[in-house]
């Protein structure tokens, strides 16, 4: 069973139809919407500031969602996929975003809607990423604009797939 822990009087809150892997950790001031999933070895730690997560968000294996004490909360919109081993720290991620494997998003960064952050990308503190764009590199730079087909073919497809995958695990309980 996932570690769901109260800290400083804050107990995580969840919407309907969420899945938490057995060794996922969700701690403190975390509010999560419907149809979300937190996968194996992922950590969502709202101990030093709040974390707000919309609907249909998947936080994949080994990812870390955290904040900076009294300075930088984390807000994640709807229909967001945070891939394996990504770090999302004290930032704002808007709707319809794919954050690639091993990407790092630093404090006060803002990721625009309908955006892909490539695997291994480093989004520096205070960066503002344009909507409907793809960013890659260390530090990340815009490499191109994104098409509606890519939004549907990647961002929406992955978010929907993770609802399906979570359903497989729920059947085994």
pLDDT at position 172 is 58
Average pLDDT value for residue range 39-49? 98
Distance of CA 11 to the CA centre of its chain: 19
Share of the chain above pLDDT 90, in %: 92
CATH of the domain at 58: 2.160.10.10
pLDDT in tens, 12-34: 999 999 999 999 999 999 999 99
The answer to whether residue 153 scores a pLDDT higher than 90 is no
Mean of pLDDT over the chain: 96
Render the burial of 76-114: b for 16+ CB within 10 Å, e for the rest: bbbbbbbbbbbbbbbbbbbbbbbbbbbbbbbbbbebbbb
Structural domains in the chain (count):
1
Average pLDDT value for residue range 146-172? 89
pLDDT at position 25 is 98
The parent domain of residue 135 ranges over 3-171
154: three-class secondary structure by DSSP: helix
pLDDT in tens, 53-93: 999 999 999 999 999 999 999 999 999 999 999 999 999 99
The model's confidence at residue 151, banded by pLDDT at 50, 70 and 90, is confident
């Amino acid at each position: 069973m996932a570690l769901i822990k109260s800290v400083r009087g804050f107990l995580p809150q969840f919407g309907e139809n969420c899945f938490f892997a057995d060794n996922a950790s969700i701690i403190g001031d975390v509010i999560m919407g419907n149809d979300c999933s937190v996968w194996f070895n992922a950590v969502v730690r709202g101990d030093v500031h709040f974390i707000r997560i919309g609907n249909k968000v998947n936080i994949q294996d080994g990812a870390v969602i955290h904040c900076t004490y009294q300075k930088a909360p984390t807000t994640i919109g709807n229909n967001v996929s945070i891939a394996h081993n990504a770090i999302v720290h004290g930032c704002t991620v808007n709707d319809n975003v794919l954050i690639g494997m091993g990407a790092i998003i630093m404090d006060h960064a803002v990721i625009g809607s309908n955006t892909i952050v490539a695997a291994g990308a480093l989004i520096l503190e205070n960066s503002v990423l344009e909507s409907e764009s793809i960013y890659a590199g260390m530090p990340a730079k815009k490499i191109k604009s994104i098409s509606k087909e890519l939004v549907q073919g990647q961002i929406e497809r992955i978010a929907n797939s993770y609802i399906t995958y979570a359903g497989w695990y729920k059947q085994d309980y």
